[in-house]
Amino acid sequence: MTAAEDALVRIAEDVQQGLQSDLFRSATNAVPGEGPADAKIMFIGEAPGFHEDRQGRPFVGAAGQFLDELLSLAHLKRSDVFITNIVKYRPPNNRDPTPEEIAACKPYLDQQIAAIDPRVIVTLGRFSMNRWFPGGKITRIHGQPRRVEGRLIVPMLHPAAALHRPENRPLIEADFRRLPEILAEAERHETEASSGSDTDDQEPQQLSLF
């Protein structure tokens, strides 16, 4: 097992333990997230829903089926990517996660990002977007990659938003179709950085390539 795989197993165990917290009393199963430890791209949603809570796996309900279709538009397979959520336990009745729940789950997500060290992170919906772009308007910034601490963060609409409002569907599909290009750009930047011709930026920076 690689160090990253080992770290992900330990994080998943910690997430499992977290189910005992009073804060997450109504959840049935913890949903740590899943995917390879060397994934180049990570998708971060909001919180588990009914089916995810039942199965302990992320994005397995209707939004998850649509996410699978979107991944194929980006020529990606589920088995190539890491999928998780900002909050690892289902909020009662699928209500929005609270700041307290988000804060309680932050160390898990921080550790997952550190272990996987993905080139690209796609945030799905406003809760994960807010982590990098607090106060950002998803309708304005969706699909536009920004470089943050050496990786590209791409805010996108939540797949469920496209299911609830069919007029959003072409928009999220177009954003997913651009992912291969964004991944290639991230790879190019990594190669340049490792050859010493670039420096990491600490501030969010909009890319000029699109």
Which positions lie near ligand URA, rule CB under 6 A? 45-49, 52, 58-59, 61, 63-64, 85, 160
For residue 134, what are the contacts with CB-CB under 8 A and spacing of at least 6?
A: none
For residues 56 and 118, which CB has a smaller minimum distance to ligand URA in the complex?
56
From 130, 157, 159, select the one nearest 60 (Cα to Cα): 159
Q: Structure tokens of 105?
A: 């789950």
Which residue is at the shortest CB distance from ligand URA? 45
Specify the residue, 132 or 150, whose C-beta has the smaller distance to ligand URA. Answer: 132
Q: 52 or 185, CB closer to ligand URA?
A: 52
Nearest to ligand URA of 7, 50 (CB atom): 50
Q: Write out the two tokens for 164.
A: 């609830």
Give, as one character, the DSSP assignment of residue 97: P
Nearer CB in complex with ligand URA: 141/163: 163
**Least spacing, CB of residue 75 vs ligand URA, in Å:** 22
Q: Show the CA angle centred on residue 137, arms to residues 92 and 40, nearest 5°.
A: 75
Amino acid identity at 13: E
* Between 125 and 143, CB nearer to ligand URA: 125
Paired tokens of 156: 């996108």
Rounded least distance, CB 84 to ligand URA, Å: 8
Min dist CB 164 to ligand URA, Å, is 12
Long-range pairs for 174-182: beta carbons < 8 A, 24 or more residues apart: 174/143, 175/142, 175/143, 176/70, 176/71, 176/73, 176/74, 177/73, 177/74, 178/143, 178/210, 179/41, 179/74, 179/76, 179/120, 179/122, 179/154, 180/74, 180/75, 181/210, 182/120, 182/145, 182/152, 182/154
